[in-house]
Amino acid sequence: MCPLAETESPTPARVNTVAAFDFDGTLTNGGSVFPFLIDLCGLLPVLRATASLSPTLIRSALQGGTAADTAKEKLFVRLFRGMPEEKLQRKAEAFAHKHLAKHLRDDTRRRLQWHQQQGHYTVIVSASPESYVIPAGQELGVDGVVATRLAVGGGGLLTGGYEGKNCRGAEKYARLTGHLRASGVFDSGTDQVELWAYGNSRGDLRLLSAADHGVDAGQLGPLGRLRKFPRLRDVMRKVELALGDDPSQPDERQPGVVAMPTTAPE
């Protein structure tokens, strides 16, 4: 297994700050699941599977929650059942690189890099399949990845179903805390762990609510489900002003790194 997987992350040395980032819509622009399905299975099979499940998918889009989890799993079963795991992983690694090259957000990338510069433990927490989120995490240099696992049956063939639950909502926080314990972060000799969490949708609400510093990285602002949290662009703007930076002038600091304080503005 990849060293970023939950049970195999290396034990970090004295970590007291953790930064957890959602993937779709937070680290990247837009969603990744349907582009991955098309890349893996082809456009026509994805269209046929989507059409056959359209009532379920429409209902899940309106209701969210467990309905969305179930609909997503049904779609995966239609498209993945019987596929060799080796094929999935080979295609997933190539997709991760292409997806980041095209859709990686500059603002959240810089925020991630700042946490890494500070020596914070960085982790991606995503409802997307870990098959491509793990390679994406490796490329971004994060310490861990927590994402939805796909079940593998006999002969190394996918069942199409989840292994465990879809990593969304309350499951994100539960899986993150389990990952941090398995990684030794909670046993690294510190009195407590300070958690930063970045998300963009209602699936991230539980994680941001549990964090010491929840940050809304979405695009909906006051219309979004995360509107009670500080917005990422406002945090970064206030930091730039505090540092006396002029956004119109070239940045002479290290490329891709934004210096920020360790507490979010009120």
Range in 23-27, 31-35, 143-147, 183-187 the model is least confident about: 183-187
**Cβ contact 126:146 at 8 Å:** yes
> DSSP string spanning 160-204?
EEESS--S-THHHHHHHHHHHHHHTGGGSS-S--EEEEEE-SGGG
Give this prediction's pTM: 0.82
Between 56 and 120, the higher pLDDT residue: 120
Two tokens, residue 257: 């790194």
Mention every residue, 6+ apart, whose C-beta is less than 8 A from residue 224.
200, 201, 216, 218
Highest mean pLDDT among 4-13, 232-241, 254-263: 232-241
pLDDT of residue 24: 96
- Buried b / exposed e over 78-115, threshold 16 CB at 10 Å, is bbbeebebeebeebbbebbeebbeebbbeebbebbbbb
Question: In Å, how far are 28, 133, 192 from 140, measured between CA atoms?
Answer: 12, 10, 26
Two tokens, residue 62: 């309106």
Amino acid in the structure at residue 209: S
pLDDT in tens, 204-235: 999 999 999 999 998 776 777 788 898 898 87
pLDDT in tens, 166-202: 999 999 999 999 999 898 887 655 557 899 999 998 8
